[in-house]
Amino acid sequence: MVRVAAWFTVVILLGGLVRGANPVEAETVGQVFRRVNTSVVIVRTRERDTGQQSAASAPTVAGLGSGVVIDSRGRVLTAAHVVQTVDEITVEFLDGHVSAARVVGSEPEADRALLELETPPPGMQAAALGDSDAVEVGDQVCIVGAPYGIGHTRTVGHISARHKPNTVYSGMSLAEFLQTDAAINQGNSGGPMFSLRGEIVGIVSHIISKSGGFEGLGFVVTSNMARHLLLERRSFWSGVDGYVLTGELARVLNLPQPVGLLVQHVAAQSPAATAGLLGGTLRATIAGETLTVGGDVILEVQGLPISGRNSYEAIQARLSQLHPGVPITITVLRGGRRIELTGHLP
C-alpha cells in the first residue's frame, strides 16, 4: 500500500453520481452475494520498479486489487493505492471479460480512485452506492473481492467501529473509516463492502496487522466519503506518489523551505509525466525512513507553497477555479536548483 499518498494534483476531471435501484428489504448474505457478485471486478496493474535503476531499464511489477462497477458508463470504484502510479490497468469480470481501464479521478488522502473502462461488457451490472450513515456498529456486512488473486471471494463479518477523518491513519487524513472484522487480505484492496440491503457502504482500504495477515482489524472507507470526494465534486489524478518532507528530513535533503513533497514515482503518460516531473531512482534509508530518492521535490503548485497537509485543500481549491487548457505551474527542486515546470488542465 502507498505509505504516504501524493496530494499534489494537476488534472481535474468531473464525475457525476449515478445510483442504482435501492432494494427495500434486507436479504440473507447468500442472496446479497449472488445478486451483486457480477458487479465486482479484479483489478490488475503493471508499473515500472525504478527504485534501483533508470526508468528505461526498470523491470515491470504486477499489482493486484479489487473494484466494483457503480454505473452503466463503466465506472469502477477502487482504492487509490492500487492504481495511483501504475502504467497499465486491466479489469476482469466474473464471466471472463477483460477491459483496459484508466484513472479518471483519485483522492489518495482518502485512498479512493475512480476508473473508467475502455470496453464495458454487454449486459454489465452495476451495484448501488448506498448511504454509509445508515449502517451502525454491530450490523452484519459482507466483502467481495480477490484476496491473493482468488476472485469473487466473499467474507462475512460486522461493523466493529466508525472512525472520523484523521483519527486512524495520518497518511489518509480525509478518509472516514468503517472498521470491520470481515476478513481482508492482499488483493481485497478496492473491493466493496455490502450491507444486507445489497448496497455498497464502503470500499476496502487497509488492515492493521503484526503478522502480515488479517487479524480482525480491517478498515473500509465509507461510501458517503467516496461519493463526496469522487462523484459530487471535481476529482484530481496526478499519477504521482510522493513523500512529505519535514523537519530533519527536509534539512538533510537541503530543501529551501520547511516542507516539500519528494516525488517517489510517476505513472507513465500521467498528467505529472506530461508536465515533466521526475520520480526517484534509488532507495535509501534516511532518519529511519526508506525512501526513493533522486527525484524532484515539489515546492509550489500554481504559486502556492507546499506547507503541510493544510496546503492540500488550498491547492485543490485554486486548481478547481481554473478552466480546461489553462497552464499549471509546478515549482520543483531538481539537482539542487529551483526550476519551473508547466502542465495543462484537460
pLDDT band at residue 136 using 50, 70 and 90 as cut-offs: very high
pLDDT reported for residue 159:
98
Dump pLDDT digits (tens) for 272-319. Answer: 999 999 999 999 998 788 899 999 999 999 999 998 767 887 888 888
Whole-number Å distance between alpha carbons of 281 and 47 = 14
Looking at the structure, give the CATH architecture of the domain made up of residues 236-344.
Roll (2.30)
Where are the CATH 2.30.42.10 domain residues in the chain?
236-344
The single residue of 111, 206, 238, 311 carrying the catalytic annotation is 111
Q: Per-residue pLDDT for 343 more than 60?
A: yes
User: Of residues 99, 106, 132, 189, which has the active-site annotation?
Assistant: 189
Beta pairing, strands 128-129 & 199-207: parallel
Task: Determine whether 111 is an active site residue.
Answer: yes
pTM of the predicted structure, to 2 decimals: 0.86
Q: Is the pLDDT of residue 112 over 80?
A: yes
What is the rounded distance in angstroms from the CA atom of residue 325 to the CA atom of residue 303? 18
| Cβ proximity of 39 and 126 under 8 Å | yes
**Is the per-residue pLDDT at 6 higher than 60?**
no
Q: Rounded to whole angstroms, how far apart are CA atoms 335 and 282?
A: 14
Q: What is the C-alpha separation between 86 and 189, in angstroms, rounded?
A: 15
Q: Is residue 173 annotated as a catalytic residue, yes or no? A: no
Q: Which fold has domain 17-231?
A: Thrombin, subunit H (2.40.10)
**Marked catalytic residue, from 81, 152, 206, 265:** 81
- Annotation says 189 is catalytic: yes
CATH 2.40.10.120 residue ranges for the chain: 17-231
Name the least confident of 35-44, 48-57, 125-134.
Answer: 48-57
